[in-house]
Structure 1
Amino acid sequence: MYNRLISVISLLLCCSYVYGQQNLRRAFQPPSVVNKMPYGANAKAGHYAQTKDGKIYYEVYGKGQPIVLLHGGILGSTIEMAEFIDSLSKNFQVIAVSTRGHGKSEIGTEPVTYEQKADDVMAVINAVTKEQVVILGFSEGAYTSYKVASMYPERIKKMIAIGAGEQIPGLRKVVFNPKELLNTDKAYWTQQKALMPEPEKLEDFWAKMEVFYNTMTASKELFGSIKCSVLIMAGELDQNAPLSTVINAYNMLPNSQLCIIPNTGHVVFLENFAAVWASVVPFLKN
Structure 2
Amino acid sequence: MSDIAAQRGARLVHANGIDIACTDAGDGPPLVLLHGALASTGPVWAGSRVAYVDHLQTLAKHFRVIAPDTRGSGATVHDGGPVTFDVLADDVVALIEALDLGPVLLAGFSEGAATATVTALRRPGLVRALVNHAGFDYFDAAFAEHLDQVFRPTFGGRPAATQADPDAAEQAFGAVPPMAETFSRMRVDYDQAQGEGYWRTYLGQFFERTTTPVGYSTADLAAISAPTLILAGDRDFFCTVEAACAAYRSLTAGELAIVPDTGHDITAAVIDTMTGFLTKV
TM-score scaled by structure 1? 0.76
Q: Which segments of 5 or more consecutive residues in structure 1 lack a partner in the other structure?
A: 1-39
User: Amino acid of the residue matched to residue 15 of structure 2?
Assistant: Q
- Indicate the residue corresponding to 2:162 in structure 1: none
The alpha-carbon deviation at position 241 of structure 1 amounts to 1.2
Count of residue pairs brought into register by the alignment:
242
Residues 1:219 and 2:204 are matched in the alignment: no
- The counterpart of 1:116, out of the listed 87, 97, 103, is 87
CA contact (8 A) 2:25 2:57 kept: no
Q: Percent identity?
A: 27
The alpha-carbon deviation at position 156 of structure 1 amounts to 0.4
Q: Which segments of 5 or more consecutive residues in structure 2 lack a partner in the other structure?
A: 46-50, 156-164, 175-179
Q: What SS class does the counterpart of residue 196 from structure 1 fall into?
A: helix
User: Amino acid of the residue matched to residue 108 of structure 2?
Assistant: G
CA contact (8 A) 2:59 2:275 kept: no
CA distance in 2, matches of 1:171, 1:180: 20
Q: What SS class does the counterpart of residue 258 from structure 1 fall into?
A: strand
- Indicate the residue corresponding to 1:69 in structure 2: 33
- Indicate the residue corresponding to 1:92 in structure 2: 63
CA distance in 2, matches of 1:170, 1:187: 27
Residues 1:47 and 2:12 are matched in the alignment: yes
CA contact (8 A) 2:89 2:118 kept: yes
CA contact (8 A) 1:101 1:202 kept: no
After superposition, the Cα gap between the structure-2 partners of 1:61 and 1:193, relative to the gap in structure 1 and judged at 3 Å, is same
Output aligned runs, 1:1-286, within 5 Å. Answer: 42=7, 45-52=10-17, 54-74=18-38, 76-78=39-41, 79=45, 80-165=51-136, 166-168=139-141, 170-173=144-147, 174-175=151-152, 176=155, 177-182=165-170, 184-185=180-181, 188-197=185-194, 200-217=197-214, 218-267=216-265, 269-270=266-267, 273=268, 275-286=269-280
User: Amino acid of the residue matched to residue 59 of structure 1?
Assistant: T
Q: Aligned-residue CA RMSD in angstroms?
A: 2.4
Deviations 1:88-113 (A, max 9, x none): 11231110111112110112212122
The alpha-carbon deviation at position 43 of structure 1 amounts to 5.5
The alpha-carbon deviation at position 266 of structure 1 amounts to 0.8
The alpha-carbon deviation at position 201 of structure 1 amounts to 4.8
CA contact (8 A) 2:32 2:65 kept: yes
Higher helix share: 2
TM-score scaled by structure 2? 0.77
